[in-house]
C-alpha cells in the first residue's frame, strides 16, 4: 500500500502519504457500531392513558410498545421471553388513586357488583401510589401482581382469571430468578426464595384452571381448550401428578380441534412425561 499516496507533499499534505487505505474504514465502522447505544428497558415503554372504571379518574400506565419487543423463545409452560424487556412486568394496569388493579385484558371489564366490592374493600383503605419510576424492578412488579390477585379475590373473579394471574406471577418470578446477580452473597438464598414463590403461584394456578375447566367455557383467558389442557398438564407434571398430566396429553393428541402446533408440543411433553415416570419408578 506504500506509495499510493506519494506525491501529496507538493500539496503540503506529506503527512497523509502513509495513510492506510482500508484500516481507516474498518476503524470508522467500529466507531459507528460503538456509537449505537444498546437498547435499554425504557426504550420499549410508553405511557398509555386510562380512565378508571371505579373512580372515573384518569391516569397513565407503563405499557410495552406493540411490535417493539422481540420474542426470543418460550418455556415448556409457554412463558414468553423477550429480548431486553420482560413484558410480564407491564401487563398489570393499576389505578394509583383507588387501587383498582387487573391484568390488562380484564381491566375494562368489571360489573357493577364487582365495582362495589372493590370500592368497599380496596378503595376505602387504599393509599395513593404515584407512579414516577421509569421502569419497574422485579420486586415492584411482583407486588403489583399481588395487588391484582387481591382485587380479583375481592371482586369474586372467575377461577380462570385468578388462575391466570397466578400463572403470570409465577412466570414473572421465574424471570426474577434468572436475573439475580450470581455473584451476590445472598444469591443462593434469593434463588431458593424465588423457586418457593414460583411453586406457590403455580400450584394455585393449577387449582384454578382445574376448577375453571369444570365450570367455564372457551376461550378461557384468550386460550382454547387444548392450550389450557396443555398448561394444566405441564404444571401437573412439575408437581409429579403424572396420571392427570398423561390423561390431558392423550386428550390433546386425539383432539380434532387442537392445532398442529399444540399437538407437536403435546408430543414433546409426552416424551418428557414418560421419562419422568420412569425416573420416579427407579427411585422406588
Q: 26 or 65: whose pLDDT is higher?
A: 65
State the pLDDT at residue 131: 78
**What is the SS3 assignment for 13?**
coil
Tell me the mean pLDDT in the region 51-74.
94
- At residue 21, does pLDDT exceed 80? no
Contact, 106 vs 113, CB < 8 A? no
What's the mean per-residue pLDDT of the chain?
Answer: 92
pLDDT band at 280 (very low <50, low <70, confident <90, very high): confident
Cell of 102: 387487573
Q: How many residues does the chain have?
A: 284
- At residue 53, does pLDDT exceed 80? yes
State the pLDDT at residue 163: 98
pLDDT band at 36 (very low <50, low <70, confident <90, very high): low
Question: Residue 26: CB partners within 8 Å, gap ≥ 6?
Answer: none
| Residue in the block written with cell 415416570 | 277
Cell of 236: 401437573
Task: Please report, rounded to a whole number, the percentage of residues in the chain having pLDDT higher than 90.
Answer: 81
Tell me the mean pLDDT in the region 19-24.
69
Q: What is the DSSP string of 25-91?
A: HHHHHHHHHHHSPPP-GGGGEEEEEEE-TTT--EEEEEEEPTTTSPEEEE-TT--EEESS--GGGG-
pLDDT band at 130 (very low <50, low <70, confident <90, very high): confident
Contact, 255 vs 226, CB < 8 A? yes
List the beta bridge partners of residue 51: 58
Contact, 155 vs 114, CB < 8 A? yes
Other CB atoms within 10 Å distance of the CB of residue 65: 12
- Kindly report, residue by residue over 221-255, the tens digit of the pLDDT: 999 999 999 999 999 999 999 999 999 999 999 99
Amino acid at each position: 500500500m506504500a506509495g499510493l499516496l506519494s506525491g501529496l507533499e507538493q500539496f503540503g499534505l506529506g503527512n497523509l502519504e502513509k495513510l492506510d487505505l482500508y484500516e481507516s474504514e474498518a476503524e470508522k465502522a467500529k466507531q459507528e457500531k460503538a456509537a449505537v447505544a444498546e437498547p435499554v428497558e425504557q426504550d420499549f415503554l410508553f405511557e398509555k392513558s386510562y380512565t378508571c372504571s371505579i373512580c372515573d379518574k384518569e391516569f397513565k400506565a407503563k405499557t410495552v410498545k406493540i411490535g417493539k419487543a422481540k420474542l426470543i423463545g418460550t418455556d415448556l409452560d409457554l412463558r414468553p421471553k423477550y429480548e431486553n424487556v420482560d413484558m410480564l412486568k407491564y401487563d398489570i394496569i393499576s389505578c394509583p388513586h383507588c387501587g383498582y388493579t387487573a391484568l390488562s385484558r380484564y381491566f375494562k371489564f368489571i360489573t357493577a357488583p364487582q365495582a362495589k366490592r372493590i370500592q368497599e374493600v380496596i378503595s376505602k383503605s387504599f393509599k395513593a401510589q404515584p407512579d414516577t419510576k421509569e421502569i419497574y424492578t422485579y420486586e415492584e412488579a411482583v407486588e403489583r401482581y399481588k395487588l391484582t390477585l387481591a382485587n380479583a379475590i375481592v371482586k369474586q373473579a372467575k377461577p380462570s382469571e385468578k388462575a391466570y394471574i397466578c400463572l403470570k406471577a409465577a412466570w414473572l418470578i421465574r424471570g426474577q430468578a434468572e436475573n439475580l446477580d450470581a455473584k451476590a452473597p445472598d444469591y443462593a438464598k434469593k434463588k431458593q426464595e424465588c423457586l418457593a414463590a414460583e411453586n406457590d403461584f403455580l400450584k394455585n394456578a393449577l387449582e384454578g384452571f382445574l376448577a375453571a375447566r369444570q365450570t367455564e367455557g372457551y376461550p378461557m383467558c384468550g386460550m382454547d381448550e387444548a392450550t389450557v389442557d396443555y398448561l394444566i398438564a405441564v404444571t401437573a407434571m412439575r408437581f409429579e401428578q403424572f396420571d392427570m398430566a398423561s390423561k390431558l396429553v392423550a386428550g390433546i393428541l386425539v383432539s380434532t380441534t387442537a392445532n398442529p402446533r399444540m399437538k407437536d408440543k403435546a408430543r414433546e411433553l409426552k416424551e418428557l412425561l414418560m421419562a419422568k415416570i420412569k425416573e420416579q419408578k427407579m427411585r422406588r
